[in-house]
Amino acid sequence: MKKVIFVCIHNSGRSQMAEAFANTLGKGILVAESAGTLPGNDLNPMAVKAMEELGYGMKSHHPKLMTEEMVKTADKIISMGCGVDAAACPVRFLVTEDWGLDDPKDQPIEKVREIRDAIKLRVEALINDYREASQE
């Protein structure tokens, strides 16, 4: 089983949504964690609300710092948008892929839904890639 780390600066929105989608939709194919380079104190309430609209609870999630152990055990490290604020992304040299997604912080729910939906599509594509690779 593959291990994927989703990273964003505060680990309060994008990476948390990606982790929730990946661990549910990719069960048996991959295991996901999320982390931040400067983790916040709480999850973005709009991200939590947007995920609850699709039936994904994130009440047990909390922002956490990316660790060396996470990096060592990961098959892939995906930044949710280091390009959004490259100066705050000291792990950009470890990133396998950057999805370049907008930050949902201080965004209205409509924009957060767009970001959520983009994350879901990318996570589904990632899962399909791993599924296809395992069948080769």
The residue annotated as part of the active site, out of 5, 7, 8, 127, is 8
pLDDT average, residue stretch 11-21? 96
pTM of the predicted model as reported, rounded to 2 decimal places: 0.90
Integer Cα distance of 90 and 92 in angstroms: 6
Please indicate whether residue 89 is annotated as part of the active site: yes
Segment 111-121, tens digit of pLDDT: 999 999 999 99
The residue annotated as part of the active site, out of 9, 48, 50, 82, is 82
Segment 49-87, tens digit of pLDDT: 999 999 999 988 999 999 989 989 999 999 887 654 555
Sequence spans of domains, the chain:
2-131
pLDDT at 8: 87
Name the least confident of 18-22, 61-65, 88-92, 130-134. 88-92
Integer Cα distance of 83 and 98 in angstroms: 8
Please indicate whether residue 45 is annotated as part of the active site: no
Find the helix or strand (DSSP H, E) in which 127 lies: helix 109-135
pLDDT at 98: 81
Fold classified for 2-131: Rossmann fold (3.40.50)
Please indicate whether residue 118 is annotated as part of the active site: no
The residue annotated as part of the active site, out of 5, 18, 74, 89, is 89
